[in-house]
């Protein structure tokens, strides 16, 4: 269950952060039967090097409910070109969630891959996460662009994908600002 906006806002003010505070900061930017774009932004007083160090360790913040194995500890990310955001599966199996296509440490992580139920469809997708610092505040801006053919409505699934990615970014923000995935912690 999500805390109220007011509760999140108070916690954000106390911690000098607004990262976990704004579910409205994420949205379906556009959607059609051919594809969709979802995006969001979070903020923290943590510096970009610290944010980057946590970002590239998804086992610490990605929800186990959105893994194939049911265990976030099975996730890994190799933050270099052609690196894999992968998951070890039981009995020696594995899954590639995304492939790294562009890295600027402490600044930009771009990966290509269809997440979750999109993986079995003929879609292409790119997730871009940018870190920008202004006046001691680091913004974490993410955009996920999906296009192609699916056996279900891409337009209709866009809000669910937005919800899943927003949850992951909120968990990352909670880890950065409070030392754990916070109220999203289901580990």
CB 23 within 8 A of CB 171: no
Enumerate the domain spans of the chain: 7-178
Q: How confident is the model at residue 73 (pLDDT cuts 50, 70, 90)?
A: very high
Tell me: pLDDT of 25 over 70: no
Query: Higher confidence at residue 25 or residue 66?
Result: 66
Tell me: pLDDT of 21 over 80: no
Average pLDDT of the segment spanning 97-110: 98
Query: Strand pairing partners for 137?
Result: 134
CB 87 within 8 A of CB 97: yes
Average pLDDT of the segment spanning 2-18: 35
Pick the CATH number of 7-178 from 3.10.129.10, 3.40.1180.10, 3.30.530.20, 3.40.50.720: 3.30.530.20
pTM metric for this prediction: 0.85
Average pLDDT of the segment spanning 49-69: 97
Q: How many CB atoms lie under 10 A from the CB of residue 18?
A: 21
Average pLDDT of the segment spanning 171-187: 76
């Amino acid at each position: 269950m999500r805390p109220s906006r007011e509760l999140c806002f108070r916690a954000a003010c106390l911690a000098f952060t607004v990262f976990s505070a704004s579910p409205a900061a994420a949205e379906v930017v556009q959607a059609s039967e051919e594809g969709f774009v979802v995006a969001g932004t979070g903020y923290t007083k943590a510096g970009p090097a610290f944010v980057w160090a946590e970002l590239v360790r998804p086992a610490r913040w990605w929800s186990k409910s959105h893994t194939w194995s049911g265990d976030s500890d099975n996730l890994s990310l190799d933050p270099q070109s052609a690196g894999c955001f992968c998951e070890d599966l039981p009995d020696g199996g594995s899954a590639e969630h995304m492939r790294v296509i562009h890295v600027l440490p402490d600044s930009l992580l771009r990966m290509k891959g269809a997440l979750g139920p999109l993986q079995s469809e003929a879609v292409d997708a790119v997730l871009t996460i940018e870190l920008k610092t202004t006046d001691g505040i680091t913004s974490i801006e993410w955009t996920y662009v999906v296009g192609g053919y699916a056996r279900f409505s891409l337009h209709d699934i866009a809000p669910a994908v937005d919800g899943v990615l927003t949850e992951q970014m909120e968990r990352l923000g909670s880890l950065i600002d409070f030392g754990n995935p916070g109220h999203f912690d289901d580990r």
